[in-house]
Structure 1
C-alpha cells in the first residue's frame, strides 16, 4: 500500500516538473514481450518435452518451439504417404526441414510412423497386371520403404514409432483386421520391427497406440507385446497417444497403464497428448470455458506429477504447439472450439502451461 502511494506521489511530481506535457511513466510492457520460462529447461534431466510440428509452424512459431520444447516429431511429414507417394519415389524434403530445425536447436527427434493402416499409399497393395499384391511383394515393398526411410535418418532420429494403431481388442489375435493383416498375416508386425532394427540398430523401436488405459485394449496390447518379446523381436517401448479429456481417464488409470508396461521391461513415452474440453464426439460444454480450462490445468499438473514416479517414462510429447492449429478443430463445428494444448491461439501460455512448468522438480 505504501509503495503504491509513493508511486502516485512520484507520478504527480513528475507531471508537475514536466508541465504535464507528456506521459509521466513508460507504458507497460506488452504481454508478448514478457519472457516465458522454458518447459524444456524446467524438465531438463527428467523428461524430453516434445511437440508435433510441421514445415509451417517451425517457420511461424520456431522461436516458441525452440524455447519451450526439447524434442519434436513430424505430425505428418514422415508417414508413408508423404515419404513414398509413388513406389520407389522418396520425398524427404518436408521431413528434412524439420530435422534441420531440430538439429540447429539441439532437439531430439522422434520418427512417426513407418507403418499405419491409414496414410499408406494405394500402390502398396497393387500387384502386377491389375492383380492385388501378394504377401511377398508387400513385404518386399515394406522392407525397402523402412530401410530407405530409417536409413536416411540413421543416427538422427533416436526413436521410431514402427507401427501405429495396430491393436483391435475385438479380434481374436488382438490385431486390426486391415490390409496388412489380410495380405501379409500377423507377422507383418515382427517383420516391420526387424527391418527397422537392421536399418538403424541404435534407434529405439516403439508400438504407438491410442486408448491404452482401456482395460480390454490394454490386455490385447500386452498380449501382442509379450508375443513379440517371446519371438525375440527387437521392441523397446510403448507410445501412449493420450488424446484425453478434462473428464477422463483418471490419473490413477494412466498410472496403472504405465506400470503395466514397465513391468514388461519396456520404456514408456506419452507421444500425442492433448486434453479436450469436451467429451469424445459430444459438442456440449459441461461447464464454463473458464472452469474447464482451470480443470485442464489441474489435470495436466496431476499427470505430470504422477510421471515423477515413473522412471520408465522418458518423454512427453504434445500433439501440436498452440490451440490455433490443433487437429481437434479440423472438422469441428464453428461453435465447437477446442483448446487442448499448453499455449492459446495467440501462442500465449495458458494455465495448463504453468501447471506443467510447476510440476517439474526443482
Structure 2
C-alpha cells in the first residue's frame, strides 16, 4: 500500500513530544528529559521505537497507566549498587535517573550496578548505554518487555524481545554502541508492516500455532511470536536478560510483563544497568590506545567481494543520525493524521512539516 509521506525535523518532533507530554500533565523537567530520550530512536532511524509509539504513550498516560510525576524510591543502596522503584513513571525519565546513579557510584568504586523495577518502556537501549560511555565508562543496559518470543520448540509467547546495549567510549570519536534485540526483527517492524498494509518475509515470525507466517497481524496482534536469532542462542539471550532485568530487579518477568497496547494493566517491566570505570582498571590513555588498535584491525580487515567498507557497531546509526539532523524524518500520512488528531484533542501545537 503506497502512502504519501510527511517530513518533520528532529527539532520540531522533539518539541512536539515535549508539548504532548506537558499537555498530558507531565511536569516540565520530566517531559523535557523524556522528549530528549524518545527522539534518540527517531534520530537513529529506529522508527519502530520512535514516533510510531507516541499514540500508545498518550493512551497510557490518559488512562492513568503511567504515573505523570512518579515518586522515585532508592532501595538497598550500597557504595556500588542500588535498586530503583521507578514509581511506574515514564521510562525515558526514570532510566536516565538510574544511569546517573550508576555513573556516580562507578566514579568512586570502579564498577556499579543499578536495577529498576516498576518501570515502563524506555525507547532504545543504546540511548542509555551511550550516556555511560560519554562519561568515559563502559556501559551496559538491558530491559525486559512483554512476551513476544516462544522458547525454541514452543508455540506460546513466554519471553520479551529483551534488548540490551553495550557502549564503549573512544577518544575523539563517537562511542562504539552495540544495541540489539534477540529476534530476527523487532516487533516494531511488524507494527510498521501492518500499519502500511504490507506482508513480512517468511522466517521473521510464527503464527499462533507455531507455524511460519508472512502476515504481520497474525504474528503480532493475532498471538503469534517472533523468531529468535540463531534459535536457541537468541532464546537464551532473552532468558538471561529477563533474569537480570526482571527476576533480579524485583520487576515483572516473562508472561507477567504487559505490553504498551494493553490498556488494562501497567507494564511493570524492569532494567539492569552496569557502569565500568576504565580508570579503575587501566589508565584511560592506555585503554584508548589499545582500543583503537583493535578497532583498526577490525575495519582494516580484508574485505569480501562487493564490500566497500567495514562498519563498527553503531556507525551506520551515526550516519543516519547525521543525515536526519539535516533532512528530518518522514512518516506516512496515516500516522501524521493520527498525530494531528492527538494534537487537536490536547490543544497542543502541531509540528511544522513539509
Q: TM-score, normalised by structure 1?
A: 0.25
Task: Kindly name which structure, 1 or 2, has the bigger radius of gyration based on alpha carbons.
Answer: 1
Larger RCO, structure (CA 8 Å, separation 6 or more)? 2
